[in-house]
Amino acid sequence: MLDSMPDGDDGRGDVTDSGPVAESPRSTHHEVTVRRLVHEPPQDAADCVRGIPRVNGLEGDVIVIGAGVTGLTAALALKRASRRVIVLDARPLKESESCRTTAHLSEVPDTRLSVLLKCFGLDDTRLLIEGQRLAIAHIEQLSSESGMDCGFERLPGFLYAEAGDRAQRQALEAEAEAADALGYSDIRTTEIPASFAIAGALRFDNQAQFRPGSYVAALESQIYGHGSVVVRGVRVHAIESDAARPRCRVSTSGGDVIAERVIVATDVPIGDRSAIRAKLAAYRSYAIAARVRRPLGALLWDLATPYHHARTARIGNREFLITGGGDHRVGEEIDTRQILTELDEFARTHFGPLEVTHHWSGQIIETADGLPYVGPEAADDGRVLFATGLSGNGITNGTLAGLLLADLVRGHANPWARLLAPDRSRSLASVGRNMGRNLAAAKRRLTGRIKELVTDVEHLPASAGMLIRRQGERLAIYRSATGALRALSAACPSGRGHVRWNGAEKSWDCPSCGSRFDLAGAVLNGPAVRGLMPRPFVDATPVPAHAAGPSPAPVAQAVP
């Protein structure tokens, strides 16, 4: 489970113009500390369940499932086109992936340019980049026209190779050549706005950053009225689109909702959709924040595997360095807490002694060829549409996908429909192996971290979980900070496999489809729509002595 953060930000530190240096040089400890996030979206829009709690019998033109950046972008475009839109979401806004992003708004996709060129050719790679630009411009336009306070800001982005890293230097050369072919000029540089040594960099002007929580909350607030509504706290269990019936029925925890069209914008399509699921891979990605004195004024990202990225964000009157990376497959048997320690170290070695104030993580969905899938679920029935596989560019891809989905509902032509079609015929499995995230290699690197799992409940420390077998059933056991044990069936709801313990986030994660569950078994991430079953568990084991020590720090739930 993602534990809620303690209140309070200590507010130490002065603002000087001496560079992007850390504020608390004395604090260089490597412990994971968790503070309250200081840049949450406005509470009124983020936290409360709006609209009607019971949705049974509600009817509209379009049901949008998922109120993150993708669903809300589509919903707002449709509402402005006079459609009655019902947006349903199971959770508060701040728990969506859209509020866990590190919010680099970059036209440069996660999949490397050289790989895209090889696999998609010049025209389609240009089209893809054009799509990212359009998405950034759309966010800029919405933020300025409605006067929303989401801190949208244009700034340059730098793709750099670390000094002394041959592989990164070669990769940078390949990216530079691809950029030349794509028509970028004068982007090679040896300088970035940070003091660590680099082998070289590419400068992409006119990228952007913003506060995603504020932006998405502002989108949400514009949906209400004229028959449109956003209802949070309602989990969708099934979608029925029977060709014999004129309208689709969406079954939820609050009753059935009816509309002509359904958009599934749940990051990963919910339920048992094996055809699309086989093409997706779920990854966890991590981020940390630390107080600094001066903004970087740029987005930075490297060519490591998995890659690191950094930017600064102004929250209130304070500046934070936000660094991210450490991606790994969901459910991988690794000590996820170690990833946070490594991220802390990366931040300190590159940006000086830092007091890390926040840690968080989120889900990233990758596709085999590195491009999202956006379009109809079934080729012969366009009533249910979906978007997924938004990758590490999910804010820009999600915005582009939202606009495309709205066009598909209205029957409007859209230049990206062909490129992102879920049934695109190109066989591009090789792209997946070469993606910028370079996932296979990332996996190899992380296997070094696999730690020995505890084999007996007796040895299970406080605030930790493990799997055991009892009476022929595998159980997921969690020991709380006070020593109490809680048991769930470890069998995932679809019965295909068993969940695994995630120590950093205190969750039960499914390595097969990427679904995640909290300590009570409730769904945190889909595609699962139902939780893990509770099981009675009686154990006479006293809390082991080491359980009284400091418990592993959870990853904070954060909204950059």
Can you give the binding site for ligand FAD, defined by CB under 6 A? 65-71, 88-91, 96-98, 100-104, 235-236, 265-267, 270, 285, 287, 324, 362-364, 390, 392-396, 398, 526, 529
Minimum gap (Å) between residue 552 Cβ and ligand FES: 24
Residue 66's binding partner out of ligand FES, ligand FAD, none, with CB under 5 to 8 Å set by partner kind: ligand FAD
CA angle 480, 481, 484 (to 5 degrees): 40
Could you tell me which stretch among 48-56, 252-260, 481-489, 493-501 binds ligand FES (CB under 6 A)? 493-501
CA angle 309, 291, 524 (to 5 degrees): 60
- Calculate the alpha carbon distances from 390 to 58, 117, 346, 364, 420 in Å: 30, 19, 26, 7, 11
Q: List, in order, residues 6 or more apart from 422 with CB less than 8 Å away.
A: 276, 373, 374, 375, 376, 377, 386
d(C-alpha 120, C-alpha 104), whole Å? 24
Residue 20's binding partner out of ligand FES, ligand FAD, none, with CB under 5 to 8 Å set by partner kind: none
User: Residue 42 interacts with ligand FES (CB under 6 A)?
Assistant: no
Residue 143's binding partner out of ligand FAD, ligand FES, none, with CB under 5 to 8 Å set by partner kind: none
Helix 113-145 / helix 212-221 crossing angle, nearest 10 deg: 50
- Between 283 and 478, whose beta carbon lies closer to ligand FAD? 283
User: Residue 528 interacts with ligand FES (CB under 6 A)?
Assistant: yes
Minimum gap (Å) between residue 263 Cβ and ligand FES: 23
Minimum gap (Å) between residue 532 Cβ and ligand FES: 9
> What is the signed CA dihedral for 113, 301, 371, 386, rounded to 10 degrees?
-160
Residue 71's binding partner out of ligand FAD, ligand FES, none, with CB under 5 to 8 Å set by partner kind: ligand FAD
**Given 51, 493, 503, 521, the residue binding ligand FES (CB under 6 A):** 493
Cβ(514)–Cβ(365) below 8 Å: yes
Minimum gap (Å) between residue 268 Cβ and ligand FES: 10
Cβ(220)–Cβ(229) below 8 Å: no
User: Residue 38 interacts with ligand FES (CB under 6 A)?
Assistant: no
Cβ(106)–Cβ(397) below 8 Å: no
Could you give the 3-state DSSP secondary structure of residue 68?
coil
User: Residue 132 interacts with ligand FES (CB under 6 A)?
Assistant: no
Closest CA to 235 of 508, 510, 524, 498: 524
Minimum gap (Å) between residue 468 Cβ and ligand FAD: 29
Quick note: the x/- pattern for ligand FES over 506-525, rule CB under 6 A, is ----x-xx-x----------
Residue 494's binding partner out of ligand FAD, ligand FES, none, with CB under 5 to 8 Å set by partner kind: ligand FES
- Between 189 and 512, whose beta carbon lies closer to ligand FES? 512
Beta strands in 443-556 (DSSP E): 464-470, 473-479, 485-489, 500-502, 507-509, 516-517, 523-525, 534-535
- Between 477 and 492, whose beta carbon lies closer to ligand FES? 492
Strands 59-65 and 255-264: parallel
Q: Which two tokens stand for residue 481?
A: 């900070």
Minimum gap (Å) between residue 354 Cβ and ligand FES: 37
Minimum gap (Å) between residue 431 Cβ and ligand FAD: 18
Minimum gap (Å) between residue 367 Cβ and ligand FES: 18
3-state SS record for 151-185: CCEEEEEEEEEECCCHHHHHHHHHHHHHHHHCCCC
Q: What are the residues binding ligand FES (CB under 6 A)? A: 492-494, 496-497, 510, 512-513, 515, 528
